A and B are shown apart, each in its own frame.
Chain A
Amino acid sequence: MIEAVGLTKRYGAKTAVYNLSFQVRPGVVTGFLGPNGSGKSTTMRMILGLDRPTAGHVTIGGHPFRQLPNAPRQVGALLDAKAVHGGRSARSHLLSLAQLAGIPAQRVDEVLGVVGLQDVAKRRSKGFSLGMGQRLGIAAALLGDPQVLLFDEPVNGLDPEGILWVRNLMKKLAAEGRTVFVSSHLMSEMALTADHLIVIGRGQLLADMPVKDFISANSADFARVRIPGTEPAQREKLTSVLVEAGGQVLPEPDGALRVTGLQLPRISDLAHGADVRLWELSPHQASLEEAYMRLTQGAVDYRSTDDRLAHLQPPLQPGQPGYGMPPQPQVQEVPQQGWYAPPPPGQNPYGAAPQAPAPGPNPYAGGPQAPAPGPYAPPPAPQPSAPQPNSLQPSDTPKDAR
């Protein structure tokens, strides 16, 4: 059991983690999600006593890490696959760690077998691929056969077979009754591995709930409506009818419409009443990836811009669409906010100052020590269609390049 209470870490003027409270329970895989730079690694280092929190505290089994009796036998961690001396062989690396923790030396060969590195045990880790490095780091975490395990981005650089192996390993470790805390920025991977999610953005708690609840709370199901592209007037007409009926309409670039807030039969009736022909009317459910992107889109620190090479373009000659001319920008119809169904009006959690929790059950409520839920009020999630049981399936929504 890992328990953080009001964990805060500042580096100078920058606040890396702010007032983070959560519990990681044994027996399940807990995913720790957040965009790059959101404070995941800082939090992990504070759990392991490597960094001192500016405020708050974090305990493992009731003790701060540095006061734990037999810490390496209770906690194992993979922080950084590259955190090994490249000149040392895999076996020597693990042997030095085993000796330091008072673990019998034969355990080294056991864990080398578990991670599949027994054939390269004598090789210097400098020549290891990223995937082999991850396996070596996982071996180090497993050395003490601990009851609490922390993994920071364990699947980085692994091949599909390795990813599957890590996924099954995490589940197996949790099934044995251990506390497994896995950070990742890959929502799709967490959807398959984790049972519980802790999501942070800009160092603050965004969500602390089971995966199932996370999806239903954050994904907005929508209906896609397509009308003959040759009749823009019909499109306008349908849009206004749907909006009047209380739906929200978002145009997609290929001409289709995303409709939320209305059931499918109602959309069909409205279209029929307005005398608009439909070519498509289909239900869609947002994937976990989309739910995550929507939740964290306001908390992304590093966002790329287009590489326009503008300064290299020759000056535009009127009437001469010459070589090297940039393609005419497509008419951007979808708001820049992204592909994900927009949060309901007035619910953008990043726009406003902290406010009172929204009425109704709050799915973000953390453990008993959790502070006030903060600004992340749950969207009411208007569901046009009944929630589908298999909510982890990725939708067929085209993934935007952003």
Chain B
Amino acid sequence: MTAPAHHHAPAPHAYVSPIPVRAAHLGDALASEWTKIRSVRSTVWTLGVMILLMLALGLGVAAIAATSEAEMGEESALAFGFFGMLPASICVITLGVLTIASEYGTGMIRTTLTACPSRARVLTAKAIVFFLLVFSVTTVLATLVAVAQVALVDTAATPTTAEWLRATVGAGGYLALLGLLSLAVGTLIRHSAGAITVMIGLLLMPLVAALFMFNQTLQSLQKFLFTYAIPSQMISLYSEKPPFGDSGPAGWEPLLIMAAVAAAALGGAYALLNSRDV
């Protein structure tokens, strides 16, 4: 201990640290979570794979469309962004779950909550840092891909400003919100593999299940699943009017739906984190 002992406190046996004491706040927690997220290789790996997938698939699909010279009609080339978004969402899910579940897996959560007894502050800091990281990375990537797609495919319609916004900021926001949902599920389940499995199931199972609903009585459920499954919502994000039938989300609505789901899950995560033993 480099700190000398000071005995100027009233009690005969009280140690007073020479390091100035100040109350920690959310800003400290944000700095801490940023240190945590950038100092592990899993972050670099999952984000790296995501960048590769989005670039390779987005540009690849655009290149194929450009050479095939198929007539795009009213559609703009931005819709090709979906092909990169789907695999990217798997990386975002993994990273979101790992952000908290790895702390449970290693026992680090006990150390963290000893250093900061306010559990809500820890979760808030994690959510903010993770959201901003994923949002900025995916928005930049989606923008790059969108610009390249529009440049490559000259047979498609020229996108409007709203379409540009949805294909860049909208796509980034949707993936970041999906990541927040994963973070919340990771907090609830506290186990990396379990939470990732749940999230990938949530991502893919509705579509797969709907494929096998041949029964007439299940038709309305099948239609609902086809319309509201996460990949369908991603397609809707690129479309002005509902792409599946007459009703269903379109434009910015998928983003609002995902925001509501993520908020509900995070609310549950706050409540359980506060009440559970760690």
Q: Tell me the A residues contacting B by CB distance below 8 Å.
A: 25-27, 45, 48-52, 65-73, 75, 77, 79-80, 82-89, 92-93, 95-97, 99-104, 107, 110, 113-114, 140, 142-147, 169, 172-173, 176-178
Check if A82 sits within 8 Å of B107, measured CB to CB: yes
New contact pairs (15) apart from A83-B111, A110-B2, A146-B17, CB-CB < 8 Å:
A26-B13, A50-B110, A50-B113, A50-B114, A70-B22, A70-B24, A75-B114, A83-B107, A100-B115, A102-B23, A140-B111, A140-B115, A147-B16, A173-B1, A177-B14
Q: A99-B28, A101-B115, A177-B15 are in contact. Are A84 and B35 (CB under 8 A)?
A: no
Task: Determine the residue in chain A with the shortest Cβ distance to B29.
Answer: A100
Q: Which of A70, A100, A110, A147 has the most CB of B within 10 A?
A: A100
CA distance A84 to B5 in the complex (A): 30
Q: Which chain A residues border B275 with CB–CB below 8 Å?
A: 52
Q: Which of A27, A69, A97, A140 has the most CB of B within 10 A?
A: A97
Task: Determine the residue in chain B with the shortest Cβ distance to A141.
Answer: B114
Check if A103 sits within 8 Å of B19, measured CB to CB: yes
CA distance A107 to B106 in the complex (A): 24
Per-position binary interface string of chain B over residues 94-108, scored 1 when its CB falls under 8 Å from any chain A CB and 0 otherwise:
000000001100111
Q: A70-B24, A85-B102, A114-B1 are in contact. Are A100 and B17 (CB under 8 A)?
A: no
Task: Determine the residue in chain A with the shortest Cβ distance to B105.
Answer: A85
Per-position binary interface string of chain B over residues 4-25, scored 1 when its CB falls under 8 Å from any chain A CB and 0 otherwise:
0101000111111111011111
Check if A88 sits within 8 Å of B40, measured CB to CB: yes
Task: Determine the residue in chain A with the shortest Cβ distance to B113.
Answer: A50
CB distance from A202 to the nearest CB of B (A): 20
CA distance A173 to B28 in the complex (A): 27
CB distance from B115 to the nearest CB of A (A): 5
Q: Does B31 contact A (CB under 8 A)?
A: yes
CB distance from B97 to the nearest CB of A (A): 14
Task: Determine the residue in chain B with the shortest Cβ distance to A52.
Answer: B277
Check if B278 sits within 8 Å of A50, measured CB to CB: yes
CA distance A67 to B118 in the complex (A): 9
Q: Which chain A residues border B33 with CB–CB below 8 Å?
A: 96
CA distance A83 to B112 in the complex (A): 10
Check if A83 sits within 8 Å of B40, measured CB to CB: no
Task: Determine the residue in chain A with the shortest Cβ distance to B16.
Answer: A147
CA distance A65 to B278 in the complex (A): 14
CA distance A62 to B23 in the complex (A): 19
CB distance from A169 to the nearest CB of B (A): 8
Task: Determine the residue in chain B with the shortest Cβ distance to A89.
Answer: B39
Pick the residue among A51, A75, A79, A84 that contacts B106 (CB under 8 A).
A84
CB distance from B95 to the nearest CB of A (A): 13
CB distance from B272 to the nearest CB of A (A): 13
Top 4 A-B residue pairs of the complex, sorted by shortest distance between their CB atoms: A83-B107, A102-B24, A92-B39, A100-B32
CB distance from B220 to the nearest CB of A (A): 43
Check if A99 sits within 8 Å of B40, measured CB to CB: no
Check if A145 sits within 8 Å of B5, measured CB to CB: no
Q: Which of B25, B40, B117 has the most CB of A within 10 A?
A: B117
Q: Does B42 contact A (CB under 8 A)?
A: yes
Check if A177 sits within 8 Å of B106, measured CB to CB: no
Q: Provide a sorted-by-A list of 28 A–B residue pairs whose CB atoms are within 8 angstroms.
A: A26-B11, A26-B13, A50-B114, A50-B277, A72-B115, A77-B114, A82-B107, A84-B107, A84-B108, A85-B106, A89-B39, A92-B35, A96-B35, A97-B32, A97-B111, A99-B29, A100-B24, A101-B116, A102-B28, A103-B19, A110-B2, A114-B1, A140-B111, A142-B1, A145-B3, A173-B1, A176-B1, A178-B15
CB distance from A94 to the nearest CB of B (A): 10
CB distance from A192 to the nearest CB of B (A): 20
CA distance A113 to B33 in the complex (A): 24
CB distance from B196 to the nearest CB of A (A): 17
Q: Which chain B residues border A73 with CB–CB below 8 Å?
A: 17, 19, 21
Pick the residue among A25, A66, A102, A147 that contacts B25 (CB under 8 A).
A102
CA distance A223 to B97 in the complex (A): 65
Check if A107 sits within 8 Å of B19, measured CB to CB: yes
CB distance from A168 to the nearest CB of B (A): 11
Q: A99-B35, A144-B17, A177-B15 are in contact. Are A85 and B114 (CB under 8 A)?
A: no
CB distance from A183 to the nearest CB of B (A): 15
Q: A65-B117, A100-B112, A102-B22 are in contact. Are A172 and B106 (CB under 8 A)?
A: no
Check if B102 sits within 8 Å of A104, measured CB to CB: no
CA distance A142 to B256 in the complex (A): 46
Task: Determine the residue in chain A with the shortest Cβ distance to B109.
Answer: A83
Pick the residue among A83, A87, A99 that contacts B32 (CB under 8 A).
A99
CB distance from B105 to the nearest CB of A (A): 9
CA distance A2 to B42 in the complex (A): 39
CA distance A176 to B110 in the complex (A): 27
Task: Determine the residue in chain B with the shortest Cβ distance to A9.
Answer: B277
CA distance A96 to B5 in the complex (A): 26
Q: Which chain B residues border A100 with CB–CB below 8 Å?
A: 24, 28-29, 32, 112, 115-116, 122
Q: Which chain B residues border A172 with CB–CB below 8 Å?
A: 1
CB distance from B244 to the nearest CB of A (A): 42
Q: Which chain A residues border B114 with CB–CB below 8 Å?
A: 48, 50, 71-72, 75, 77, 79
CB distance from B161 to the nearest CB of A (A): 41
Per-position binary interface string of chain B over residues 250-278, scored 1 when its CB falls under 8 Å from any chain A CB and 0 otherwise:
00000000000000000000000001011
Q: A50-B278, A65-B117, A85-B103 are in contact. Are A101 and B108 (CB under 8 A)?
A: no
CB distance from B7 to the nearest CB of A (A): 7
Pick the residue among B40, B110, B118 that contacts A85 (CB under 8 A).
B40
Per-position binary interface string of chain B over residues 53-76, scored 1 when its CB falls under 8 Å from any chain A CB and 0 otherwise:
000000000000000000000000
Q: Which chain A residues border B14 with CB–CB below 8 Å?
A: 26, 147, 177
CA distance A102 to B14 in the complex (A): 22
Check if B32 sits within 8 Å of A104, measured CB to CB: no
Task: Determine the residue in chain B with the shortest Cβ distance to A61.
Answer: B14
Check if B110 sits within 8 Å of A147, measured CB to CB: no
CA distance A102 to B117 in the complex (A): 13
